[in-house]
């Protein structure tokens, strides 16, 4: 498969090309630019006049790693509070202004970044960026709002305390990262959240939200001059330097290890994984391709064929690469009948060993390349997705023309590259966390659901519990 594109943008001697599905909104051919505002705020920008919409994504370095050691969840609570009132606008007035202009503003604390997202119509850009400025520079953090958000966070944490998928994911991170900040619960705990006070929230804002770690991506119907003014309006008055606590690089614990957590639930949940490949490493793309062959989302991976299709052990099984600023993992998830959990884990381990020892076939490699090239292009079919992708490229320190280079990088992976990556990823086995009934209890159960029970959610080391999806290569 070769890459074909329906629109092309040129910056200097390089080109940026993006495929648009026929049913998706068409973005006009335009330049992708690195812009610097009069006040020195930098952004990656793609002009798109197809619809009068502007999408912006931004990120500050830090995220949940900047939570106090004894108070995980501070960044998560800040993310929930920044749009709850600012300056002389209380919660109700602030949201009325957002709603009146159909402005979408949200924040999120991931493992390594504190992120913001803004959507607006072109005609409402001045008010939207003014509200963003207020949220970042003068959040009210009123006691009533803090307590309301705290109550909501605690309610979710209590629900999660009996959720087998959540328990498996949390324990997996603890096993993988031990006493590193990545092992902490980014959304907090039922013990830590009640201890978080307004002083903690204000201190987090002061230390984390600053210009020196800021990355911005925008897509929409704007001219560079107007964009520069908006950037200065929203971000120009932020502190120049963040005061971040240094975070050490860490390699996940060595497999094999297996942890069992007893829980009286009909379906057993399994989270498995191990040390991964960081985005900056030269063999990342080979790992990306071979990981898709073993456990990628879809119906054609080896794990899906062997675990579900041939043996009916689970409704779904999948695995993904996750990379963070200071580490990387591969992580997989499945759910199965309690009385077949042991067989399921053994089959997953068998397929992992086989891939590590033999690598993929040439046909598997060719099929994976074709899928990954096509799906990558089709994933960037809206302004919002493009803005998120451009932000991620910056965070990953990729070139501005990475989208065009993506297909060539996938094509360059050889069978030998894939085999070496497979041996590196899976040659030592798995870290596995199993949550469910003990084998005797499972054997006594007569009400276990069939293997068509929906699978558990994927673990998300790169995000707080409210984040939507695990990281995937952009």
Q: Is residue 469 part of a domain?
A: no
Spatial contact of 333 and 324, defined as CB atoms under 8 Å apart:
no
Residues 278 and 393 in one domain: yes
How many structural domains does the chain have?
A: 2
263 shares its domain with 399: yes
pTM assigned to the model:
0.85
Of 247, 267, 325, 329, nearest to 295 by C-alpha is 329
Same domain, 201 and 328: no
Q: Are residues 336 and 418 in the same domain?
A: yes
CA separation for the pair 455, 165 (Å, rounded): 9
Rounded to whole angstroms, how far apart are CA atoms 238 and 242?
10
**Inter-CA distances, 287 with 15, 405, 409, 427, Å:** 26, 17, 12, 13
Name the pairing type of β-strands 431-436 and 257-262. Answer: parallel
Q: Do 301 and 170 share a structural domain?
A: no
Q: Do residues 113 and 63 touch, judged by C-beta distance below 8 A?
A: yes
Q: How far apart are CA 19 and CA 452, in angstroms?
A: 35
pLDDT at residue number 445 = 43
DSSP state, residue 338: G
Structural domain includes residue 365: yes
In a domain, residue 191? The reply is yes
- CATH number, domain with residue 339: 3.30.830.10
Q: CA–CA separation, 17 vs 376, rounded Å?
A: 12
Say yes or no: 39 and 161 in one domain: yes
Alpha helices in 190-283 (DSSP H): 198-208, 224-235
SS3 content of the chain, % helix, strand, coil (to 5): 40, 20, 40
Which of 419, 292, 402, 417 lies closest to 3 in space, CA to CA? Answer: 402
- Out of 174, 202, 235, a domain closes at 235
Tens of pLDDT along the chain (474 residues) come to: 434 322 222 222 222 222 333 333 333 345 678 999 999 999 999 998 888 999 999 999 999 999 999 999 999 999 999 999 999 999 999 999 999 999 999 999 999 999 999 999 999 999 999 999 999 999 999 999 999 999 999 999 999 999 999 999 999 999 999 999 999 999 999 999 999 999 999 999 999 999 999 999 999 999 999 999 999 999 999 999 999 999 999 999 999 999 999 999 989 999 999 999 999 999 999 999 999 999 998 788 999 999 999 999 999 999 999 999 999 999 999 999 998 999 999 999 999 999 999 999 999 999 999 999 888 777 888 899 999 999 999 999 999 988 888 999 999 999 999 999 999 999 999 999 999 987 655 444 433 333 333 333 334 333 332 222 333 333
Structural contact between residues 176 and 329, judged by C-beta atoms closer than 8 angstroms: yes
What strand order describes the sheet that includes 53-61?
32-36, 42-47, 215-220, 53-61, 113-121, 104-109
pLDDT of residue 439: 64
Assess whether 289 and 200 both reside in one domain: no
434 vs 451: CA distance, rounded Å: 16
Decide if 331 contacts 472 (C-beta within 8 A): no
Residues 167 and 289 in one domain: no
Angle between helices 198-208 and 143-160 (to 10 degrees): 90
Q: At what angle do helices 74-81 and 143-160 cross, to 10 degrees?
A: 130
Distances (CA, A) of 437 to 278, 337, 458: 35, 10, 21
Q: Which domain holds residue 370?
A: 257-444
Instruction: Round to whole Å and give the CA distance between 466 and 455.
Output: 19
Statement to judge: residues 291 and 428 lie in one domain: yes
155 and 265 assigned to the same domain: no
Considering the domain boundaries, does residue 250 fall inside one? no
Residue 303 domain flag: yes
* Residue 435 contacts residue 175 (beta carbons within 8 Å): no
* Domain presence at residue 190: yes
Q: 10 Å Cβ neighbour count for 219?
A: 28
- Secondary structure class of 152 (helix, strand, coil): helix
Instruction: Tell me if the bond preceding 340 is cis, omega within 30° of 0.
Output: no
Question: Do 222 and 297 lie in a common domain?
Answer: no
Note whether residue 127 is domain-resident: yes
Q: At which of 235, 270, 288 does a domain end?
A: 235
**Residue 454 domain-assigned (yes or no):** no
Same domain, 201 and 344: no
């Amino acid at each position: 498969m070769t890459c074909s594109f329906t629109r092309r943008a040129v910056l200097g001697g390089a080109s940026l090309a993006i495929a648009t599905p026929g049913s998706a909104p068409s973005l006009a051919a335009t330049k992708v630019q690195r812009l610097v505002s009069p006040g020195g705020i930098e952004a990656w920008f793609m002009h798109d006049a197809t619809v009068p919409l502007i999408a912006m994504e931004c990120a500050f370095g830090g995220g949940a790693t900047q939570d106090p050691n004894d108070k995980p969840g501070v960044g998560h609570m800040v993310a929930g509070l920044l749009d709850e009132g600012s300056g002389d606008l209380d919660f109700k007035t602030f949201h009325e202004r957002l709603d009146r202009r159909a402005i979408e503003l949200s924040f999120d604390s991931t493992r390594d970044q504190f992120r913001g997202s803004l959507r607006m119509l072109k005609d409402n850009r001045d008010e939207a960026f003014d509200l963003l400025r207020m949220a970042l520079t003068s959040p009210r953090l009123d006691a009533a709002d803090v307590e309301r958000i705290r109550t909501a966070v605690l309610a979710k944490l209590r629900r999660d305390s009996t959720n087998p998928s959540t328990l498996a994911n949390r324990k997996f991170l603890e096993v993988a990262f031990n006493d590193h900040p990545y092992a902490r619960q980014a959304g907090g705990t039922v013990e830590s959240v009640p201890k978080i006070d307004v002083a903690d929230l204000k201190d987090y804002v002061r230390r984390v939200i600053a210009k020196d770690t800021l990355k911005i991506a925008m897509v929409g119907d704007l001219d560079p001059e107007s964009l520069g003014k908006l950037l200065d309006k929203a971000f120009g008055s932020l502190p120049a330097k963040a005061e971040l606590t240094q975070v050490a690089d860490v390699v996940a614990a060595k497999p094999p290890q297996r942890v069992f957590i007893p829980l009286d639930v009909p379906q057993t949940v399994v989270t498995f994984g191990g040390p991964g490949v960081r985005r900056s490493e030269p063999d990342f793309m080979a790992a990306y391709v071979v990981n898709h062959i073993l456990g990628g989302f879809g119906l054609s991976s080896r794990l899906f064929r062997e675990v579900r299709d041939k043996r009916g052990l689970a409704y779904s099984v999948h695995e993904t690469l996750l990379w963070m600023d200071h580490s990387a993992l591969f992580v997989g998830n499945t759910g199965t009948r309690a009385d077949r959990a042991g067989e399921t884990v053994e089959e997953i381990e068998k397929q992992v060993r086989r891939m590590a020892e033999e690598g993929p076939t040439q046909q598997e490699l060719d099929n994976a390349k074709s899928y990954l090239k096509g799906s990558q292009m089709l994933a960037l079919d809206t302004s919002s997705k493009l803005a998120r992708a451009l932000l991620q490229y910056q965070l990953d320190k990729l070139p501005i023309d990475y989208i065009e280079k993506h297909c060539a990088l996938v094509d360059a992976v050889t069978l030998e590259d894939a085999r070496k990556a497979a041996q590196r990823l899976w040659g030592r086995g798995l870290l596995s966390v199993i949550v469910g009934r003990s084998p005797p209890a499972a054997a006594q159960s007569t009400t276990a659901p069939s293997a068509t029970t929906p699978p558990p959610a994927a673990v998300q080391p790169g995000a707080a519990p409210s984040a939507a999806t695990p990281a995937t290569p952009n």
